[in-house]
Structure 1
């Protein structure tokens, strides 16, 4: 299958592309390149790619693909809260525009990276895909709006599917330090302290980046009836953990690391436990990685690849990285490149 992956030079895309290639798919990427050099260790090989802003994609660039996997987004809550208008412009409007152009170009499947954070403050009970959506942040709100708009685009020739990923964790060569498990392991390695700023009580569902990649690979070849206009939670019930439990899992893996729960940021209203049974029953997908296994992987990779405090607090934090690009004059106030390049690039 010929597949376009948006955000292929991001945290998830860098893990997903090799999984898709190993399954025999012909993969092309599309990315602005903002995080292309945010690499810990050796640079990964990339597929041929389009260096283009998501807001500038054309139907011609989408012609000939069987499927689009749409990962590209402004991808966390602090960034979305800082620039909510741009978050909705990129995450909502540009995503729906991409889907519409893909449909016009004859693309049959559109795999959309949504999020379990659409459930917001859901309490202690398990929520499945039929639960009310209560997004609390601009990032989560944008995801809900895209899902709604893609349903309106769907027809017998265009099948969108919404993969509501749990909070990602695990090693990627293009690391992110601003997601909970990756962050806690990094601080433990660098300081010896697993520091939790909230009271530690909110629930978080977690899923490894490799498991997310496998779920998308499954949806590429699943029967159309199984994915058409469907939402699937992607993760595992065993990885529904409180933030305090996640912190203690880290301390069990990183030698001599001490858990400190300060509570200084107060209670976090985002708390939800998720039921992942639909993907098991209907897609045959089972997440493999546990939180403990992911923490152990991160500890080993951070240690062996020479993680530094400077990089951990800057290059691998999305908000800090975009601020740096702005200060260097490489992106403008709308997060557009000041000297855009729309050339086709091939690295592998």
Structure 2
């Protein structure tokens, strides 16, 4: 999407999931193959804007080793922002999360609402926002995009995300499998619309986005998990809703007000909703012939894939590639 808008894009990634491409569609761009913890000043020379999304990307993976989540998601992110400022980067757009609100209850939450994270992942996002906001000045402008829970088809599709997961279960087993009691509220947003939010901030006048946080999504896209399950049941033929026998209420419950981004950045025009997204997922899963073994296996399950790489002596306990692996990549 950035390339289509005429931007020159450079990627930086440690490529933990290079073996996990779903279908086709990875766009070729210049890439720095490096761990976010190892970024140096020279990596940022000449860069005008940093769009920072790197990190351990979900709660089970964050729980695998909370110290690593602290080191990668928090310390390395703040260091990146400090280096970006030193290198003359003018805008720093951070992929934060509505996980900041955590156990937020059923009241509507705005960007001014209290943080209440309940996972190492959520804590890390809060701490980055707090520290990086202190770096803001006339030459360095950070913005914090608190994304709702992502969904939708992409070349690095994640099956641990709620709508992606429910559709996969329904297609491969005939069950829309819910691991909680179905009552928690959760805002969701398509990955394309998250990308639209980044571009809208990138192109907005500085005074509108300088050191600001924005909830990313739409108010009408706050759903209880059971509502998402019903949508999936209506779209995937011959499936039934099934609740896990030990599924209790999930502490992660929040309804997020996204009025600010709609009012401040009118160029941000989300194109997706849960029903449209569930249809996209169902049709794509059908097209590729997705099986239960595949989506539940180590190729696409984030934490299982990390354990697979460790078990095959490719990755060490600190999530760094072993030297023999790096030699092979070169």
Q: How does 1:294-333 map to 2 (within 5 A)?
A: 294-313=277-296, 314-333=298-317
Aligned residues of 1:199 and 1:263 also touching (Cα < 8 A)? no
- How far apart in 2 are the matches of 1:93 and 1:48? 26
1:93-136 C-alpha deviation (Å, 9 max, x unpaired): 00000111111111000000000011111221111100001111
Aligned to 2:116: 134
Deviation at 1:79, TM superposition (A): 1.1
Deviation at 1:267, TM superposition (A): 1.2
Secondary structure of the structure 1 residue equivalent to 2:159 = coil
Aligned residues of 1:40 and 1:307 also touching (Cα < 8 A)? no
- How far apart in 2 are the matches of 1:126 and 1:190? 35
- How far apart in 2 are the matches of 1:264 and 1:294? 28
Deviation at 1:263, TM superposition (A): 4.8
Is 1:181 the counterpart of 2:159? The answer is no
Paired positions, count: 327
Q: How does 1:269-308 map to 2 (within 5 A)?
A: 269-284=251-266, 285-308=268-291
Is 1:201 the counterpart of 2:183? The answer is yes
Aligned residues of 2:196 and 2:269 also touching (Cα < 8 A)? no
Structure 1 unaligned blocks of 5 or more = 1-18
Q: 1:122 to 1:135 in 2, by over 3 A?
A: same
Relative contact order higher in (CA < 8 Å, ≥ 6 apart)? 1
Aligned residues of 1:196 and 1:263 also touching (Cα < 8 A)? no
Deviation at 1:309, TM superposition (A): 2.1
- How far apart in 2 are the matches of 1:298 and 1:275? 26
TM-score by length of 1: 0.91
Aligned residues of 1:198 and 1:263 also touching (Cα < 8 A)? no
Structure 2 unaligned blocks of 5 or more = none
Runs of 4+ in 1 over 6 A off after TM superposition: none
Q: How does 1:244-259 map to 2 (within 5 A)?
A: 244-259=226-241
1:145-177 C-alpha deviation (Å, 9 max, x unpaired): 000010111111000000000000011121100
Secondary structure of the structure 2 residue equivalent to 1:210 = helix
**Which segment drifts farther, 160-169 or 304-313?**
304-313
Aligned residues of 1:165 and 1:212 also touching (Cα < 8 A)? yes
